[in-house]
Amino acid sequence: MIWSFGRGDEIVRLQTSYDGNSHDFVLEITWAGRPPTIERFTTVKKFKTRVLAVEQQLADEHWTQIGSPEILPHVWRGPTTH
């Protein structure tokens, strides 16, 4: 999935995916004016915790979500939780 956030004329993009080769959950953050950062997590719990922390940071820094998240089915073929 991709989420976009805006603040003034700046944009931040979060992309989440699952790497089927390494079995990692991946969070890629593209901050305005900075190179992207890629973080990898071996458990869904750590991954979700980090995504929520980034969302809270963005809210605290007055970033606003732009539109709805975009689902990218070709990059999310991770394990399902029941």
Instruction: Read off the pLDDT of residues 4-61 as tens digits, 9 standing for 90 and up.
Output: 999 999 999 999 999 989 999 999 999 888 999 999 999 999 999 999 999 999 999 9
d(C-alpha 28, C-alpha 34), whole Å: 12
Enclosing domain of residue 64:
2-73
Type of residue numbered 12? V
Q: Which H or E run includes 30?
A: strand 24-30
Residue 82 lies in a domain: no
Residue 79 lies in a domain: no
Whether 81 has a pLDDT exceeding 50, the answer reads: no
Instruction: Please state the separation of Cα 78 from the chain's center in Å.
Output: 15
Q: What is the DSSP letter of 8?
A: T
Number of domains forming the structure of the chain? 1
